[in-house]
Amino acid sequence: MRVDARGLTFEVTVGGPPGGAPVLLLHGFPQHSGEWDDVASMLHTGGLRTYALDQRGYSPGARPTAVADYRVPELVSDVVAVLDALGLDAVHLVGHDWGAIVAWAVAARHPERVRTLTAVSVPHPSAMAHALANDGRQKLRSSYIALFRKPGKAEKVLLAWHATALRMLLGGAGDTSRVNRYADPMREPAALTAALNWYRAMSRADLAGVGPVAVPTTYVWSDRDIAIGRTAAEACAANVTGDYRFVRLPGVSHWIPDAAPAPLAEAILARVGGTA
């Protein structure tokens, strides 16, 4: 379905029993709401109603051109506006990768709209800041961001030779058909630029402005994640004042919703628990 919010049009995939507790699913880079398909089907079996949002830059009708339009406060405001448009007062919020960053910020700034939070792969921004300041290996893991922040050059590198570098980046997400499912939409230069603008608009001030999270929270991390190391993952707990659970998935890549949908769905269902 299409949802109009803030003068933009967002694509939202809705599924599950109409009376089920609502779960909003936020995807990461360079994917789209389709990354949640396998997880969502299991959540539907568990009685939940899912709303998988193609976020700003990924929905063709929500693709402004200015870098500043992709700052974290804008992404947070999109989520709140979409919830308003859907008539949802509060949801169980789930985010992966960049979607996790947005989810952390929504939970911190608008706790009244979030029943529970399940953050996948990327920990609280303050945990990342701690790791970058204290763990040299995390600095290496995050070094790709410098390229992504370079307008034009990043697009050229990622899209060269039929988007070979982009496909390699997605290699841990699954077989060729699954990788193509994510890479092909990004081969349109405007789409990739919009997605990269999330990195280009990122600022220390915006990330530092994400305060502690008080809602019941689960953080899911995989020990084969090339982008997020153990230091960042273990620092996450210090930024949650509500009930907190840390779920470690051994032997799984960064692309948890694709690579390990069953244990992720189990973690979400366990978090939702009696609060549904």
Domains of the chain listed by start with CATH number: 2-136+203-275 (3.40.50.1820)
**pLDDT score recorded for residue 189:** 81
> Has residue 210 got a pLDDT over 60?
yes
Distance CA 264, CA 255 (A): 11
Q: What is the mean pLDDT of the chain?
A: 96
Q: What value, to the nearest 5°, has the Cα angle with vertex 225 and ends 221 and 227?
A: 110
Question: Mean pLDDT throughout 238-259?
Answer: 98
β-bridge partners, 252: none
> Has residue 128 got a pLDDT over 60?
yes
Distance CA 202, CA 132 (A): 15
**For the whole model, what pTM was predicted?**
0.97
Q: What is the pLDDT of residues 36-87, one digit of tens each?
A: 999 999 999 999 999 999 999 999 999 999 999 999 999 999 999 999 999 9
Strand order in the sheet with 22-26: 2-5, 8-15, 49-53, 22-26, 91-96, 114-120, 217-222, 244-249
Q: What is the pLDDT of residues 255-274, one digit of tens each?
A: 999 999 999 999 999 999 85
Q: What is the pLDDT of residues 95-107, one digit of tens each?
A: 999 999 999 999 9
Q: What is the DSSP letter of 250?
A: T
**pLDDT score recorded for residue 274:** 55
**pLDDT score recorded for residue 275:** 57
Centroid of chain to Cα 101: 6
Question: Mean pLDDT throughout 236-251?
Answer: 98
